[in-house]
């Protein structure tokens, strides 16, 4: 079930930063209390292959997000201690040394379960043990959430494990949403900052299509 248009879950989760500090993060409160947008991206596991390329890509674009009044938060189901070990590992050795935004450690899987992004490929009831057996890695897909200053989700997407994200697309979506907020216009296909937007009515669509 899509969460777009709904408030982000009001759940606090343990997190780690590059200084080795362990603290609680509530994504909804980060947005609302700071009056900022949030990009929250989930990845499957620390010390894997596609994941460090994504974390470094978000780090490289961090100043671009900050210019857009947007907080970046990474997340997985690894522990805070494993996060810090990865944060302390050099980039040329597969690590994420140099990443400065916080990383959520959802070891309880409370938040990822509510979001419905865990790779639980099959559940079956075992009569012998009277338990539910889970098949699958029970880690998260590459899920991404964009959240506005009121805590509302205005974008969500989920990639399968092998598919890395295009960080630039999230910057474009934030630009488009901000344009809607400020101008009251809507953004057509392939819209980028500086391009024509549209009035949200049939006339606006007709005028835009006539020009393009």
Q: Do 178 and 158 fall within a single domain?
A: no
Number of structural domains in the chain: 2
- 3 within a domain of the structure (yes/no): no
Q: Do 177 and 126 fall within a single domain?
A: no
- 50 within a domain of the structure (yes/no): yes
Q: Which domain holds residue 108?
A: 12-165
Nearest CA to 51 out of 83, 16, 88 is that of 83
Q: Do 171 and 203 fall within a single domain?
A: yes
Contact 18, 99 (CB under 8 A): yes
| DSSP reduced 3-state for 155 | strand
Nearest CA to 151 out of 34, 16, 19 is that of 34
Quote the CA–CA distance of 62 and 66 in Å, as a whole number: 6
Residues tagged active-site: 51
Q: Do 151 and 181 fall within a single domain?
A: no
- 199 within a domain of the structure (yes/no): yes
- What lies within 8 Å, CB to CB, of 41 at 6+ separation is 54, 58, 72, 73, 74, 75, 142, 143, 144, 145, 165
Q: Do 87 and 137 fall within a single domain?
A: yes
Q: Do 204 and 138 fall within a single domain?
A: no
Q: Average pLDDT, stretch 145-160?
A: 98
Contact 95, 199 (CB under 8 A): no
Q: Do 110 and 187 fall within a single domain?
A: no
Q: What is the pTM of this model?
A: 0.92
Q: Do 32 and 136 fall within a single domain?
A: yes
| DSSP reduced 3-state for 163 | coil
Quote the CA–CA distance of 67 and 27 in Å, as a whole number: 19
- 202 within a domain of the structure (yes/no): yes
Contact 161, 148 (CB under 8 A): no
- 188 within a domain of the structure (yes/no): yes
17 has pLDDT over 80: yes
Q: For the chain, give the longest Cα–Cα distance.
A: 68
Torsion over CA: 167, 169, 171, 173 (sign): negative
The total number of residues shown for the chain amounts to: 212
Q: Do 58 and 117 fall within a single domain?
A: yes
Nearest 5°: the CA angle 53, 9, 165 is 20
- 6 within a domain of the structure (yes/no): no
Q: Do 190 and 211 fall within a single domain?
A: yes
Q: Do 18 and 67 fall within a single domain?
A: yes
| DSSP reduced 3-state for 149 | coil
Q: Do 110 and 90 fall within a single domain?
A: yes
- 7 within a domain of the structure (yes/no): no
Tens-digit pLDDT profile for residues 177-212? 999 999 999 999 999 999 999 999 999 999 999 999
Q: Average pLDDT, stretch 129-153?
A: 86
In this predicted structure, what is the pLDDT of residue 123? 59
76 has pLDDT over 90: yes
In this predicted structure, what is the pLDDT of residue 110? 97
């Amino acid at each position: 079930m899509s969460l777009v248009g709904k408030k982000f879950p009001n759940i606090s989760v343990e997190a780690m930063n590059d200084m080795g500090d362990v603290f609680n993060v509530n994504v909804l409160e980060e947005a609302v209390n700071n009056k900022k947008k949030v990009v929250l991206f989930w990845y499957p596991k620390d010390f894997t292959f596609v994941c460090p390329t994504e974390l470094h890509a978000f780090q490289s674009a961090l100043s671009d997000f900050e210019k857009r009044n947007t907080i970046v938060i990474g997340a997985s189901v690894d522990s805070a201690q494993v996060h810090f070990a990865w944060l302390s590992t050099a980039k040329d050795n597969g690590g994420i040394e140099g990443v400065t935004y916080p990383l959520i450690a959802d070891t309880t899987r409370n938040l990822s379960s509510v979001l419905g992004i865990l790779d639980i490929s099959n559940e079956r009831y075992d009569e012998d043990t009277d338990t539910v057996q889970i098949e699958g890695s029970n880690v998260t897909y590459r899920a991404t959430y964009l959240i506005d200053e009121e805590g509302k989700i205005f974008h969500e997407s989920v990639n399968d494990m092998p598919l890395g994200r295009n960080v630039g697309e999230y910057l474009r979506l934030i630009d488009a949403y901000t344009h809607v907020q400020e101008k009251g216009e809507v953004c057509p296909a392939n819209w980028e900052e500086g391009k024509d937007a549209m009035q949200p009515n049939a006339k606006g669509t007709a005028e835009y299509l006539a020009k393009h």
